[in-house]
Structure 1
Amino acid sequence: MDITLPAYMTDVWQAPALTALALAGVAIAVLGALLPARGAARLTIAEVLHNE
């Protein structure tokens, strides 16, 4: 049984679109981690130990 699908069903994502999506994902991850990391970096050791 030989099934061939049309090109519009198999060629969904092109390389430039995948690259842009990957870069957008990395940017979102970096921005999402930046705020908590900056807040944690500004705490003193005493404040961290007091909160535990």
Structure 2
Amino acid sequence: MITMVYSYTLLLADGQYLSLLSDDTVFGVLSEHPGAQLVSRNEYGYRAVVAD
């Protein structure tokens, strides 16, 4: 299976910015960082997910 990977930029509650790569949804990323605001989400690339 192939999934899209996104580059997220978040503004944290303390005023700092956080950039991360994730294949999770916006809701999923924000739920991992309480109080953060979404600044941007851009397509970064693809990831192959292999399961046995």
Shared topology, TM-score over 0.5? no
TM range, smaller chain: under 0.3
Structure possessing the higher relative contact order (Cα contacts under 8 Å, 6 or more residues apart):
2
Higher strand share: 2
Larger radius of gyration: 1
Q: TM-score, structure 1 length as denominator?
A: 0.25
Q: TM-score, structure 2 length as denominator?
A: 0.25
Higher helix share: 1
